[in-house]
Amino acid sequence: MRFIGPHVSIKDNIALSAERAHELGATGFAIFTKNQRIWSAPALKESDAEAFRENLEKYGFSPSSVLPHAGYLINPATPDPVLREKSLNLFIDEARRTASLGLNVINIHPGAYKEGEASDGMKRSAGMIDEVLREVDGIKIAIENTAGAGTILGSTFEELDKILSYTIQKDRVGFTLDTAHLFGAGYNVKEHAGKILDDFVSRFGGEKLLGMHLNDSKVPLSSHKDRHESIGLGLIGKEAFLTIVRHRATENIPLILETPDETRWKEEIRLLSEF
């Protein structure tokens, strides 16, 4: 089974997200557990969490088909103690929301180290991940690869491996691979999608791939920029996604569209499902 769908809105009520995904023909989807651009939000009501869980079942989604994304303000690698505390508190809150929704994975960017050595930033990122896991039972954390601009961590398998090596609870840590980020970081997804996934499995094991973001790219290979495009309209091209959705590593994990044109989502889901 391939769990294919977009990152849907939680506007008005988080419970509506499953219905929105269902209406698009999705078999999986992604959400934010709260507004992704603010530091705090009212607590998630148990009635809303219960309605979300009921709608998952109603519309045929399993918890493993949904990939929540942590908010953009969180920087696990920051050297700033004030920002670190705010990031940790927000990350814990969003992980608790994830657990209360009956979901088992939350996706996080590894962060930017801003100053000093990259290895120090990796240790800080790993340390925050472990703190969240100590506070919240029943979830895993998926570290998302990046395009590697500036001091942002996680653009190579080597960096992802190092972050993992610094964590304590390794069995509860895995990865989300974003195709546009891979391409921006220098992984030629257009020509070698299958080999890239083979290399990932060889290095980490297939169980460490907890999800993927399937995005074409507006910017060239090795640009170190993150500009998503609709499937087949960018510089990666349609054929690479055919290879990805047929690869053994993408079975039973969320394959999430973060493509920019919502009017194309239904067609993209149909296309990827047919692949």
Quote the radius of gyration of the chain (alpha carbons, Å).
Answer: 17
Q: Is 113 a catalytic residue?
A: no
What gap in Å lies between CA 184 and CA 227, rounded to an integer?
Answer: 9
CB 186 within 8 A of CB 159: no
Q: Is 192 a catalytic residue?
A: no
Q: Is 262 a catalytic residue?
A: no
Task: Tell me how many degrees the CA angle 12-15-16 measures, rounded to the nearest 5.
Answer: 60
CB 108 within 8 A of CB 129: yes
Q: Is 144 a catalytic residue?
A: yes
What gap in Å lies between CA 199 and CA 18, rounded to an integer?
Answer: 33
Which residue out of 144, 159, 229, 268 is catalytically annotated?
A: 144
Written as one string, the DSSP assignment of 49-108 is HHHHHHHHHHTT--GGGEEEB--TT--TT---HHHHHHHHHHHHHHHHHHHHTT--EEEE
Which residue out of 7, 69, 84, 172 is catalytically annotated?
A: 69
Which residue out of 50, 258, 262, 267 is catalytically annotated?
A: 258
Which residue out of 20, 84, 124, 181 is catalytically annotated?
A: 181
Q: What does the block give as tokens for 37?
A: 């651009």
Q: Is 120 a catalytic residue?
A: no
Which residue out of 159, 226, 229, 268 is catalytically annotated?
A: 226
Alpha helix stretches (DSSP H) within the chain: 16-23, 46-58, 81-100, 118-135, 157-166, 179-185, 189-204, 238-246, 265-274
Which residue out of 84, 213, 247, 268 is catalytically annotated?
A: 213
Which residue out of 2, 96, 97, 109 is catalytically annotated?
A: 109
Q: Is 7 a catalytic residue?
A: no
CB 28 within 8 A of CB 256: yes
Q: Is 181 a catalytic residue?
A: yes
Which residue out of 72, 115, 134, 270 is catalytically annotated?
A: 72
Q: Is 178 a catalytic residue?
A: yes
Query: Which residues form the catalytic set?
Result: 37, 69, 72, 109, 144, 178, 181, 213, 226, 228, 258
